[in-house]
Structure formats: C-alpha cells, structure tokens
Chains A and B, each alone.
Chain A
Amino acid sequence: AQSVTQLDSQVPVFEEAPVELRCNYSSSVSVYLFWYVQYPNQGLQLLLKYLSGSTLVKGINGFEAEFNKSQTSFHLRKPSVHISDTAEYFCAVRLNSGNTPLVFGKGTRLSVIA
C-alpha cells in the first residue's frame, strides 16, 4: 500500500521569504501526486498535481512542486510567501491505475510571519 510522509509538521517563515514543504511517498507502483491547501474552517483546495510528463509542476498562487522519482519525493516550493499563504498543506498520492482513493500525509502547517 502507498503512504505519504510530510517531514515537517510546522514551518514558520517570514513574509517574502522562500519556502519548501517536504513530501516523500512510498509505493511499489506508479502514482499520481497532489498538493492540497486547507484554510481555517474550509475544505481542501487543489494547489497542483503531477500525473505524468514534466517533473516540474506549476500550480495556483505561485506554488510549484518537483517530482523526483529516484528520491520518491514531491516537495512544494514558493519563492516568496505572503501572509495569506498561512494555512495547512497536505501532500497526497493515489495509484495511477484503477479507482483508488487518495492517501494523505499528516499535513504541514505553514505560518507566515510579518
């Protein structure tokens, strides 16, 4: 079965600084990878997804992620964060065959400090 590890539970960063949220996955077969964001009292919103092709994926709100198959990682990055980026971020994986559910990491709370 696949699993996802988000290496940092909390990441504080100053406004306009770059940030990287780390995600590693484990799977014996090919997978699709996703990053979701959750603002307080809201559901999850998709930031970006990797299905195939280019390993550098660009998403909404200036975020991007790079799929690294050899390191089984899918780290999320943003070159300059804003206060409004303060939220919980979830990495998720699903098998690329069949109709399998998403498996989520535990989440990383990003706190942007003014």
Chain B
Amino acid sequence: KAGVTQTPRYLIKTRGQQVTLSCSPISGHRSVSWYQQTPGQGLQFLFEYFSETQRNKGNFPGRFSGRQFSNSRSEMNVSTLELGDSALYLCASTQTGGLYEQYFGPGTRLTVT
C-alpha cells in the first residue's frame, strides 16, 4: 500500500497570504488528522476528519480550517498567515477507532516571511 502523501513538501508564503495544504491518506483509511509541529510547542493537534465530518478540533484560531472529501483526501487552509504559523504540518491517517495506529505523512514545511 502507498503511504500517506502530503503536497507540497515545502512552501514559502508571505504574511497575510493564505495557504492550502493537501493530504492523501492510505487507501481504506477514513480518518485524517492534522498536527502542527514547531520547535517551541512541539506537536499540537489541529483537527480530525472522519467521513467528511470534523470529529475533533484542537485549540487553534479560526484561521485554521480543514475539510475532507468523499475519497477521504483532506485539505487544511490557513488564512491571513502570521510569522508564527511557520511550522511542519503533519497529516496522519487511520482506520476508525482508537485501537488503530496513526500513519503519518512526511509533512509540509511552511515558512512564512
């Protein structure tokens, strides 16, 4: 099986712009979670989508949003970018249920200048 893929791998944006990141889960996985990884805050949960519905949400401002399509692919969007949004954004997919492990993609490195 192909792993979790994320596009693009690297992105440079300017403050105030918006950005969309994409994640394709492993075939058959219906749950997709997004995490932000920074040196200062570590790995923080953004949100989880299951069957096109947001099932869980972390403590991030409304500038961060996401969605999931019928084929389980997911996108996350960040509007009005701030310097502090510079981070590695990781996507993880899983079969349903807490017993199943999350498989992580390689991440998208976002740099905001």
Residues on A facing B (Cβ under 8 Å): 32, 34, 36, 41-46, 49, 51, 90, 94-107
Contact = CB atoms under 8 A, between A and B. Distances in A.
Chain B contact surface mostly:
strand
B81 interface: no
A43 B107 contact: yes
Interface residues of B, number: 26
A44 B96 CA distance: 19
A77 B24 CA distance: 33
Interface stretch (B13-21, B62-70, B98-106): B98-106
Contacts of A51: 99
B43, B55, B103 — most chain A CB neighbours (10 Å): B43
B55 A99 contact: yes
B42 A102 contact: no
Given A41-B106, A43-B105, A99 B43 contact: no
A99 B105 contact: no
